[in-house]
Structure 1
Amino acid sequence: MARIYKDAYGVPHVRASSVLDLARAQGEVTARDRTWQMEWLRLRGLGETASVVADAGEAWDDLARRMRVARTAQRALASCSPETRAFLTAYADGVNAGLDSVDAEQVPELRTLGIPAGAWQPWTPLATFLAQHVLFGTIGTRLWERLARSVLGDDARHLRHEGPLTSGSNAWAVGGARTASGMPLIGGDPHRNLEQPGVYQQVRLACEDPDDSFDVVGFSFVGVPGVQHFAHAGEVAWAITNAAADYQDVVDVRPGDALSDDLLRLSDTLAVRTTSWVLGDLGFDALLPLLRARSVHDVDRAFDAWVEPVNNLLIADRSGAVRYRIAGKVPVRDASGGWQGWLADPHRVDAGPDEELVTANERRGPESERIGSSFAPPYRAERIRELLAGRSGLTTADFSEIHNDTLLKSASVLTELVPGAFDEFDGFMAADSAAAARFAAWRSALVRRLVDEPVFAGLVDPSPEHDHGPLFTAVLGLEYRLGLALATLASEALAGRPPYGIDLFAHAKAALADVEAGEIPATWGDTHVAQPVHALVDFDAGIPSLPVSGDQDTVRTMGSYPAISDAATRGSVARYVWDLADRQAGGWVVPTGASGLPGAHYVDQLEPWVEGRLLPIVTDWELLTEESR
């Protein structure tokens, strides 16, 4: 038996008498609230999106088949424990029951396409999860490195954005001696493409089985049961960031040759080796232990089963314990790059009650060297540490202020190229800032000038073997890469080592003249607007484009791409603070709303998210409304 409740923002709270009833009810309410999204995710997992978006889906469908997304999901289901398989099966049954209860005519996307939603299988949740993460690893980075090396040789290193890496998140935790409540706090936000409906579902899952009880609030990937990456279970809470580990390799193969069983063919001449395919596992045996966790040790042990993506994990509990570890399977390679096994040490670090832990995809130290080669720049992690330094009595409001910090630390490096030209710019990328708008316009003008340098000609028009189709066009684009690498190039020039022999100072001065001769937006928010995308390109999702503060490397990450677009199509897809003293003292928010159906909860979180406000986490059942079924 299960009952479903909603809070004032339509967030589902599921209360069940058994784990399987809970999974069914979670599947049912998700299918009703996110009907179109569930169908889109199913088609992505199957590699059948072209059936609804025609040519626009062909590239993805081809990649999904080459990467064997559905087959990997089926193998991963088979590798799960019987209990996990039953959990996934119950969830899929609930999804199908929910879809059966929905009138397709009431779902705008299905009505527009004239199709019903298809049935889910027990392995479908694994396929949807894998489809979300096939391009989350290092494939794009490896393809870029191959292209850059082929044109620039060893000098390709100058075009590194430390990484180059754009996938990211922030997470930080402080011990109880630093908080107002005396208990640890965890805060953070994951960064992904802004989509409507959003990738994460706020949810509460409460099981009242006397022998298997738990009550967890957190974020679930739509289409996946339980909670995975961010949650508060009452006694313990956890959060993750991408660890930027190398769990995907791109290797050369010969056209027509049969591949070894551990490889997936990416193209005629390239193949991919990835952990989930090699192991036939995604780590879903962690899902139920996470729901049942009561302590840092419980969460730590649950994540021993995790496979990919490889994450930085922060955990805290009511005993005051605060821990960091690497979670996921990281391959160990021999001298030739062959995989020999898996890294055994997850590198645990325990923080004292007056200490902090911060992770923002940066190169952390020797533990990072063992797992990867491309990391995010250190700016976000450094800034979060600066904002925490020396502070005590910390509260949810203080953590929310950190969420919203817009200082672009790389700006101080770039503006040294034109001394005095940006003295009025304080480095904060606030939506209402005229100085930030002028800086951004100059930054774009500088990228446009650099693109025309002869040394980059082979990157503007690469040879056919580096054409990997539309899915990779953006990440292999020279403007995109130069925009990310500007601070690296500027640092080289300022150190008296002109990259590629380019006079960056002259280009910076000329770019300033370009800007002054043109029309500069009045404020950063005039062009830096949030633009969640919809899978159906021509579908009017009814989401207004609102000015947003932040930028690519600010703590408030709202990515823009110089010379390409100031619009933020990537950024914080959820924000949260977990207070171990009291769940209701924390807060959370997502970019648009809890529902994918136009109505009361379609965009009712958009303005709070833009404004940087967290919404209440309600755990009092008396304050919730039971939903009829």
Structure 2
Amino acid sequence: MNARVFRDAYGVPQLQAGDPLALVYLQGLNAAQDRAWQLELERRRFLGTSAAFLGAEAAPWDIFARQARLADTAQRCFEALDDETREWITAYVEGVNHGLPGGSQRAPEFAETGLTLQKWEPWAPLGIWLAIHVLFAGFPTKLWRTHVARHLGDDALELFSSEGPHTAGSNGWLIPGSMTASGQAIVAGDPHRYIESPGVYQQVRLTCPEYDVLGLAVPGIPGLAHFGHTGSVAWAITNAMADYQDLFSEQLRRTSSGVEALGPDGWKPADVHTEVVEVAGYDAVEIELVETERGPVIMDGISLRYPPRVTSRLGFEVLPKLLRATTVADVDAALDGWVEPVNVVLAADTAGGLLHRTAGLVPRRHAANKLRVVPAWEAGHQWDGWHDPMPRATVDGPAVMANARELAAPLGVEFAAPHRSRRIRELVTERSDWSVDEMPHIHTDTFLGSATSILDLLADLDDLSPEAVALRTELLGWDRRMDAASTTASSYAALRKALTTRLADHFAILENAECPEIFVPWMDPLTHVSYALENLLSADLPDINVSWLAREALEEVAVRKPRPPWGETHQLSPLHALRGPVFAPDEEPFDLGLSGDHHCVMSTSSLPGLTDVCIRASAARYAWDLADRSASGWVVPLGASGVLGDPHHHDQLPLWLRGELAPVLGDLVREDRTYTQSVEGFGAVRIVEADPDRDLDLIHEWVTADRASFWGMGELSRAEIAATYEFLDSVPTHHVYLVHVDDVPAALLQTYDPQADPVGASYEIQAGDIGLHLLIAPGTPRPGFTGTLLKVLAEFVFLHLGHPRVVVDPDIRNTRAIDRFHRTGFTLGPEVKITQPDGTTKTAQLAFLTREQFLS
């Protein structure tokens, strides 16, 4: 099967190839074509080289990435993989490398920044994964807690216990077959992340003879790590909110031989070297990188210990196993090898299997490690193995995962408030005949359970102005739905903001914490107060009159007129590294006002006290139907393409704003994979798939000519040739192309899967092999014509179609063809006898050319 790309009405790629290696190569190629800027940006981020083209704003991240040794850790993890997984990842990277030149030409950011392409390292996907998730577990919160304890004492730590403002959460739910109309399970939900342009998830379907899987891929990462449906089993994840990274306070000293760090067993040598971070428009920054026995030092005197650095494992062996999964048991067994990030997983299969478990590596260690920075020199803070077994639960009804203190409670410290989890359970248990097309009813629920903490304060206030009394009456009668059109929802948000800022003023002592710039967002008291507001309002705060603060806030908001609807201020603002717009210059923008709020099931997060603008929300929504995969739905905030101005850059945005899902298997259009290449001194080459009807006259003329005697079709009638090529067009294993040079038909190229051809019985087939037959058009080509054309065809087969090796089988008597292949770089194999479908026998000279040989 040659590689084929189909796209649905939203441009979502559906990729087909002959085997897993060819398919993952095609996935990398496609990702590079659709998301070139995103891929190269993420690669430069894990390398710590993004400031070289983004400027000073990116320098703090680059310094951290170098200090945390992300690139070196990724390489270690790659080298520790088994051979099969390394080969699979390498094939993806080869696809990326071959797709980036074309993809970068479409992405305007490359020209805007002057960014030039570099060849990807085989471990680049692992580095990208690390860079995306290294802050996922929120270790900077330990800097915040240490800061709070220093100024307010240990008892104050509980005041700010909540999911942090930069913690990625998600919703997920599993409805068992006993509660669905079909009798089969439904798995649905939505991951909550920063809404970026392009988005963090890419919808894709991956098909080869071994499996057929659709789901949400992370561009730059092969396979479908988080959300997938194989037809017989579907899975989804949320952030477990586990704590698996530690910070150690280090005592360092310089000696004549270098740097030493004090540990429980005394002074030990530390690894030290310097690197230079280039910054566009500024002088380069030289940094000293220090790594102790605990881990790399990421700020003055503080080291970071994280599982991939300790174990040289990320869990990427799991990715190809998930694609092959057919049952819940397969998914479960695969996830035993998962490392980072730590997730809660829901899965269901068509045989009734259900799964609810956690997956990942969480170290066993002292409880203090989970709370704050701990002294490296004190005994008792070392890691002592891993949590095993990881928590799991029997699924005997609807299962929910929404980052609350539930299944993963033994693994973490701070969890999401229970509002989303409770509300999903309430909604799911309303009925027992759910269908997959009703999942948006849950996705888009805007009830705000956390509003109670503020509204209860209002009920007891007295001596209010008439305006404040009227606003209080309105708020207490409110249905607590954060709908975009609701002015009451807007008033509530304004009241919350006013109360938050007043309360934060009482914690001014926590302002201006000293830390590297990258950790400043985690050290902001106003942000922490806004997210811990419920805790603070219910806590005993003897020095703070919370009721008085609520009165002041209510009076402040009550006099504001007019009050806008919630969606007018609660606007989506996707993040772009260059602050690029959502809409192209020639487009008419439309309203990006949102319903929902942080604690709603429709989680659209802002920073109360700072802004109503939303930058974190559903990075995708999905609903997997185990009764009929084609009935499943999905949507992303923008679109399949990362290129501004492309029709599929944000064509899903209206659906996403309305809370609707697109079908996962809509009408498909085969992507025109016409291959073109201009060769100086030779001409413009164009390779197109032949049409048996349109091109029959030309094909008949060529294959029946005397010079085509070795094709064995000279005696066939026009009708017989038509039937032959109609058959070849109908099967996925054989393909016929017309090769044009300067718009003149010049050659007939036929490719085939050796496993579906008699030649396959004559040698040991390797994964991804493709057979090739070439017929040069009648006429006398100019000197060097065939050799040059063969090089173009090799690029077409290796880079465009994505095959790692070509086999040819010219008749042993066709010495000119054999010599030509040999001179082009083919390695001659054995002479073999091949029995043709008509019973005749052909003695052939096999010859092979690999992609590596061709590109070397």
TM-score of the pair, normalised by structure 1:
0.94
Question: Given the alignment of the two structures, is residue 481 of structure 1 paired with residue 478 of structure 2, yes or no?
Answer: no
Q: Distance in 2 between matches of 1:103 and 1:149?
A: 49
* 1:333 Cα deviation after fit: 1.4
**Which residue number corresponds to residue 439 of structure 2?**
399
* 1:103 Cα deviation after fit: 5.6
Deviation per residue, 1:90-113 (Å, 9 max, x gap): 001000111133462x32101212
After superposition, residues 496-535 of structure 1 pair within 5 angstroms as 497=540, 499-519=541-561, 521-535=563-577
* 1:550 Cα deviation after fit: 0.7
Preserved contact between residue 299 and residue 516 of structure 2 (Cα < 8 Å): no
SS in 2 for 1:596: coil
**Which residue number corresponds to residue 153 of structure 1?**
153
Amino acid at match of 1:226: G
Q: Distance in 1 between matches of 2:58 and 2:347?
A: 39
Q: Which moved more, 1:224-233 or 1:413-422?
A: 413-422
After superposition, residues 614-625 of structure 1 pair within 5 angstroms as 614-618=661-665, 623-625=668-670
**Which residue number corresponds to residue 281 of structure 1?**
313
**Which residue number corresponds to residue 583 of structure 2?**
542
Question: Given the alignment of the two structures, is residue 224 of structure 1 paired with residue 268 of structure 2, yes or no?
Answer: no
Q: Distance in 2 between matches of 1:236 and 1:39?
A: 33
* 1:139 Cα deviation after fit: 1.2
**Which residue number corresponds to residue 162 of structure 1?**
162
After superposition, residues 7-26 of structure 1 pair within 5 angstroms as 7-26=8-27
Preserved contact between residue 53 and residue 114 of structure 2 (Cα < 8 Å): no
**Which residue number corresponds to residue 636 of structure 2?**
590
Q: Distance in 1 between matches of 2:491 and 2:546?
A: 19
Q: Distance in 2 between matches of 1:91 and 1:378?
A: 40
After superposition, residues 93-242 of structure 1 pair within 5 angstroms as 93-102=94-103, 104=105, 106-164=106-164, 166-208=167-209, 213-242=210-239
Q: Which moved more, 1:471-480 or 1:183-192?
A: 471-480
Deviation per residue, 1:529-575 (Å, 9 max, x gap): 111010113x3342756001111111111101111110110111000
Q: Distance in 2 between matches of 1:179 and 1:153?
A: 51
Q: Distance in 1 between matches of 2:329 and 2:68?
A: 35
Q: Distance in 1 between matches of 2:563 and 2:151?
A: 36
SS in 2 for 1:227: coil
CA RMSD of aligned residues (A): 1.6
After superposition, residues 458-473 of structure 1 pair within 5 angstroms as 458-462=509-513, 467-473=514-520
**Which residue number corresponds to residue 606 of structure 1?**
653
Match of 1:294 among 297, 302, 326: 326
SS in 2 for 1:198: coil
Q: Distance in 2 between matches of 1:123 and 1:612?
A: 37
* 1:525 Cα deviation after fit: 0.4
Q: Closer, same or farther in 2 for the Cα pair 1:511/1:334, shift >3 Å?
A: closer
TM-score of the pair, normalised by structure 2:
0.69
Q: Closer, same or farther in 2 for the Cα pair 1:360/1:294, shift >3 Å?
A: same
Q: Distance in 2 between matches of 1:626 and 1:32?
A: 13
SS in 2 for 1:348: coil
Amino acid at match of 2:560: G
Question: Given the alignment of the two structures, is residue 326 of structure 1 paired with residue 358 of structure 2, yes or no?
Answer: yes
Deviation per residue, 1:206-254 (Å, 9 max, x gap): 111xxxx100000111100100000101000000001111110111112
Amino acid at match of 2:204: V
Q: Could you list the runs of 5+ residues in structure 1 that have no partner in the other structure?
A: none
Deviation per residue, 1:597-621 (Å, 9 max, x gap): 12110010111001100000117xx
* 1:38 Cα deviation after fit: 1.0
Match of 1:439 among 464, 470, 492: 492
SS in 2 for 1:170: strand
* 1:282 Cα deviation after fit: 0.6
* 1:52 Cα deviation after fit: 1.1
Q: Distance in 2 between matches of 1:406 and 1:215?
A: 35
Q: Could you list the runs of 5+ residues in structure 2 that have no partner in the other structure?
A: 254-260, 262-269, 271-290, 368-379, 460-471, 675-856
Q: Distance in 2 between matches of 1:390 and 1:602?
A: 37
Match of 2:452 among 391, 412, 415: 412
**Which residue number corresponds to residue 452 of structure 1?**
505
Q: Distance in 2 between matches of 1:238 and 1:73?
A: 26
Preserved contact between residue 175 and residue 321 of structure 1 (Cα < 8 Å): no
Q: Which moved more, 1:166-175 or 1:503-512?
A: 166-175
**Which residue number corresponds to residue 566 of structure 1?**
612
Question: Given the alignment of the two structures, is residue 579 of structure 1 paired with residue 576 of structure 2, yes or no?
Answer: no
Q: Distance in 1 between matches of 2:559 and 2:161?
A: 30
Preserved contact between residue 158 and residue 489 of structure 1 (Cα < 8 Å): no
Deviation per residue, 1:40-94 (Å, 9 max, x gap): 0111111101011110110000010111110111011011111110011000100
* 1:347 Cα deviation after fit: 2.5
* 1:152 Cα deviation after fit: 1.3
> Once the two structures are aligned, what percentage of the paired residues are identical?
42
Deviation per residue, 1:584-603 (Å, 9 max, x gap): 11100000000001211001
SS in 2 for 1:130: helix
**Structure number with bigger Rg:** 2
* 1:334 Cα deviation after fit: 4.7
* 1:271 Cα deviation after fit: 0.9
* 1:480 Cα deviation after fit: 0.5
